[in-house]
Amino acid sequence: MTGQRRRNVLRGVAVLLSAGVALGLSACSSGSSSSSSGGTSGGLPKQIKVVAVEPQTGPAAFAGLAALKGYDVAINEINTSKYLGDSTIVLDKKDTAGSAQTAASEVSSAVADKNTTAIFGSVSSNEAVAQSPIAQKTKVPIIFTQAGSQGVVIGGYTFRCTPPMATYYTKMTDFTKPKGYKTVGVVYAAWSPTLNEIATKTLSSMGLNVVASVGTQQTTQDFSAPISQVLAKKPDVVSILLVGASNPTAMKQLRQAGYAGPVLGNSGASAGNLKPAGADGAGMVWAVDYSALNKSPSSEKFIAEYQKKFPGETPLNYAAEGYDAAWWLARALKDGNGAAHDVVQQNLAKVASTGFTGAMGDLKFEGNDLRLPGVLIQWDGTKEVLLPST
């Protein structure tokens, strides 16, 4: 072997060894402690391990990170109040990085760990539909928030602590009917199962005639052409059903195209996503399951707990959903007095059958799926405003 070739081989070996050490270290650091158990037959273990697999980076990170905050607040409250006696919940957070493959892989790792009691699944429908069958098949309870599409709550071990958007979006009739809107033109993210359903089914079920409907792809960044298509049909009102940064872009381009009226949006425009649109964002209205502007006693209690941990911050609906999901699990653990998967699953279903009061109010369930009437929010250009209910 020549000197240069030997150096190249040694260099390659060094790179492989470094990569191997790095992988080994990261695997060790994410390893679970041995004192928790997801499979004990009776009594709660000292540490109850729950894995949260959420997008902490990527397009849905704004919702995933907020959900994690909700879990943190609830678990902190559960542990410090000794709600589960001497047992504490330990939350292990994993990032899906906005990838369904990564989301599935992380859930696979979680279910393979016998110490995992339950899983909090992804807020993103695309990721959740990949995670759900894994948890169901391996009979590990998984609780989702958001993720409102079909194919998420698919069996006895899958639960959702967010009502599907289609079940509360009809609250928008409180806004559209008094204004006498008969026709609507919609630009929507066709790649999102949730928004696809709202655009293609829910709007027309609200008594609106959809005169123009343009689906956009995930790669679409310029909405001028879809907006022109919709405005050409002169609808009474325009609906923009997009995710994240697409909302301020579409609102700006809608106003530049000459449309000045209200816009029927969705909660994907929340979390300050409309701020870059400035004054052009004003007038978007959407239905949401929870708003911190709601001054009910349960909401105020949640906000107070939230602000103990995150001073000066107003919780988003994603945080409230995460909070209630964690308390749902805590109730099931306490009622069943066990962390075995089947015990937790049975008691999650039992708690759902009776309902409970959480941050989002009096929670009622249809099977394993939450139902709430919803509230209406309007963006005034600088902040969200709660619209009165009729």
Partner 1 sequence: MGQDLVNAISLGSIYLLFALGMSLAWGSIGILNFAHGSIFMFSAYVAYLILGHVRLGIFAVLAIGAAVGAAMSVAIEVLAFEPILRRAKDHRTAEMQILIAGIGIASIPLAIAQKQTKSNPFGLSDSSFQVHTYAFAGIRITNVQIIVVVAAIVLGGGIAWWLHTSRNGLALRSIGVDSEVSSMMGVDRRRLALLTMLIAGALAGLSGILLTYQLGAITPESGDSLILKAFAAIILGGVGSIIGVVVGSYVLAIAETIVLTQTSGLWVDAVSFGLILVVLLFKTEGLFGHKEVRRT
Is residue 209 a contact point for partner 1 (CB under 8 A)?
Answer: no
Site for partner 1 contains 128 (CB under 8 A): no
And the tokens for 150?
A: 């079909």
Q: How far apart are the C-alpha atoms of 103 and 126, rounded to whole Å?
A: 9
Report the alpha-carbon distance of residue 382 to residue 219 in Å, rounded.
28
Q: Count residues near partner 1 (CB under 8 A).
A: 43
Q: Of the two residues 17 and 245, which places its CB atom closer to partner 1 in the complex?
A: 245
CB of residue 251 to partner 1, shortest distance in Å: 8
DSSP 297-351: HHHHHHHHHHHHHSTTPPPPHHHHHHHHHHHHHHHHHHHHTB--HHHHHHHHHHH
Q: Does residue 280 touch partner 1 according to CB under 8 A? A: yes
Question: Which residue in the set 38, 141, 215, 268 belongs to the binding site for partner 1 (CB under 8 A)?
Answer: 215
Can you name the residues that pair with 106 across neighbouring β-strands?
A: none
Nearer to partner 1, 172 or 277 (CB): 277
DSSP string computed for 266-301: -GGGTTTTTGGGGGGGTTEEEEES--TT---HHHHH
34 or 221, CB closer to partner 1? Answer: 221
* x/- map, 76-115, partner 1, by CB under 8 A: ----------------------x-----------------
**Tokens standing for residue 294:** 């709601």
CA end-to-end span of the chain, whole Å? 84
230 binds partner 1 per the rule CB under 8 A: no
Q: Which 3 state secondary structure label does DSSP give 84?
A: coil
Residue 15 CB, shortest distance to partner 1, in Å, is 13
Least distance (Å) between residue 220 CB and partner 1: 7
Nearer to partner 1, 33 or 101 (CB): 101
The answer to the question of residue 376 lying near partner 1 (CB under 8 A) is no
State which of residues 228, 353, 382, 390 lies at the interface with partner 1 (CB under 8 A): 228
Angle subtended by helix axes 317-336 and 297-309, to nearest 10: 100
Q: Does 221 bind partner 1 (CB under 8 A)?
A: yes
Using the minimum distance from each CB to partner 1, give the nearer residue, 145 or 216.
216
Which one of residues 101, 204, 224, 354 is an interface residue with partner 1 (CB under 8 A)?
A: 224
> What strand order describes the sheet that includes 284-288?
209-216, 183-189, 237-241, 263-264, 284-288, 375-379, 384-387
Q: Contact between 278 and partner 1 (CB under 8 A)?
A: yes
**Cα–Cα distance measured from residue 339 to residue 347, given in angstroms and rounded to the nearest whole number:** 10
User: Pick from 37, 273, 291, 294: which binds partner 1 (CB under 8 A)?
Assistant: 273
- CA distances to 34, 176, 290 from 213, rounded to whole Å, are 54, 18, 28
Q: Which residue has 């405003």 as its token pair?
A: 385
> Which parts of 140-179 interact with partner 1 (CB under 8 A)?
none
Residue 218 found at the interface with partner 1 (CB under 8 A) = yes
Residue ranges that bind partner 1, judged by CB under 8 A? 57-62, 65, 98, 190, 213-222, 224-226, 228-229, 244-245, 247-249, 251-253, 256-258, 271-273, 275-278, 280
